[in-house]
Amino acid sequence: MSVLTLLLAGPLQAWGASARFTRRTTEAAPTKSGVLGILAAAQGIQRGDDNRLAELAALRFGVRIDQPGTRIRDFQTAHHRVTEKSMPLSERFYLADAVFTAGVDGDHTLLATLHNALRNPVYPPFLGRRSCPPAHAVELAVRDTTLTRALREEPWHAADWYQKLHRTTLTVPLVILRDANPGDHDGDTLRDYPLSYAAGQRRHALRTVVSENVDVVNPRAHVRPPARQPVPHHDPFGPLEDTL
């Protein structure tokens, strides 16, 4: 099997597993439905094409939290286009300054096709909502390995300023959230398995998510601030003494 890895980083992200009109929340990490939506958009898959979506949904999914970010809340107002009446005040939650490494596990040919599609997408990617563009190219690489190993071995992609905060440690503990294997007995359920993206008829099934910890190498561990240079001695009265 092969793994396609992706870098999900941007000023704002929003990965909602459940939402109502007046309250749109976000999970603490990208959802399978949201990431597969990026892949489907890159290929130009239409919202009602459930057969092609099923091929993507069969891929095993995992994500590593490289930089958790901060959850923020925004308020939005709107007016009805015809009646001009004010719509209810709504809340939108986002993750600010977050970075994630995601991966999908499946057939090499399919993943290579998805990798090429991400390089030349039919529809541009966004991080959960259209108002959240990525800060970098989304695609990373296709590797012949397992999903867990790919997420364990991928370099730490946190921002430089965030890595500098941890430069006193050689390794950094991170969390991986992945699809449960047949032998896994512990996990949380999330309504995040996409069955249809059809407008007005979106459907999702439950999937089991397993959490595991991993230590990654900190590239900033040996970076030290430059040594402080000694201040040269300065006698403010020296020039006066020379003239006397």
Q: What is the DSSP string of 57-99?
A: HTSEEEEEEEE--EEEEEEE--B-TTT-PBPPPEEEEEEEEEE
Within 10 angstroms of residue 133's Cβ, the number of other Cβ atoms is: 13
Model confidence at 188: pLDDT above 80: yes
Burial class (CB in 10 A: 0-12, 13-18, 19+), 47: middle
Mean pLDDT is highest, among 11-25, 88-102, 181-195, for 88-102
In the structure, how many helices (H) and strands (E) does the chain have? 6, 10
The string of pLDDT tens digits covering residues 152-177 is 999 999 999 999 999 888 999 999 99
For 86, half-sphere exposure in the C-beta direction (CA atoms, 13 angstrom radius) is: 5
User: What are the start-end ranges of the H helices in 69-208?
Assistant: 108-119, 147-153, 160-164
Distance CA 190, CA 205 (A): 8
Burial 162-173, CB ≥16 within 10 A → b, else e: bbeebeeeeebe
Residues in CB range of 95: below 8 A, 6 or more apart = 12, 13, 14, 15, 26, 28, 68, 69, 70, 71, 72
Q: Is the dihedral of CA 134, 140, 144, 150 positive or negative?
A: negative
Output the pLDDT for position 221. Answer: 82
Output the pLDDT for position 215. Answer: 95
Do the Cβ atoms of 182 and 126 come closer than 8 Å?
no
- Residue 44 is encoded by which pair of tokens? 């130009």
Q: Check residues 12 and 81 and name the one with the higher pLDDT.
A: 12
Which pTM does this prediction carry?
Answer: 0.84
Output the pLDDT for position 74. Answer: 86
Output the pLDDT for position 230. Answer: 74
Nearest to 115 by CA among 87, 79, 140: 140
Q: Give the domains, in start order, of the chain with CATH numbers.
A: 2-223 (3.30.70.2660)
Distance, C-alpha 90 to centroid of its chain: 24
For 129, half-sphere exposure in the C-beta direction (CA atoms, 13 angstrom radius) is: 18
Do the Cβ atoms of 117 and 42 come closer than 8 Å?
yes
50-57 vs 32-43: helix crossing angle, rounded to 10: 130
* Range 214-230 average pLDDT: 77
Model confidence at 135: pLDDT above 80: yes
